[in-house]
Amino acid sequence: MLAHLLASVLDKEHLFDNWRAPLIALAVGGFVIGVIGHLFRSKTLIVGGILLVFAAVLIFPIVLYVRGTP
């Protein structure tokens, strides 16, 4: 069963080919916004940065995987 799941995941790796750069840019942008928020002690910017990183690392890849086809 684990081999089947691994084969299924590796088969869908092509879904992320076109999305690698935007997801990395979104994560880096979230880190930068979070750092700026800490420098200016703005909770809004800190939370915004955390949400951008969370979206880039977890939410968008899950959506791309579930969607299946490009």
Per-residue pLDDT tens for 11-21?
666 667 777 88
The tens digit of pLDDT for each residue in 2-52 reads: 777 777 766 666 667 777 888 899 999 999 999 999 999 999 999 999 999
68: left (phi over 0), alpha (psi -120 to 50) or beta: left
Residue-range domain boundaries for the chain: 14-67
Which pTM value belongs to this model? 0.75
CA pair distance 65, 63, nearest whole angstrom: 5
CA-to-CA dists, residue 65 to 30, 37, 52, 53, 54, angstroms: 22, 31, 19, 18, 16
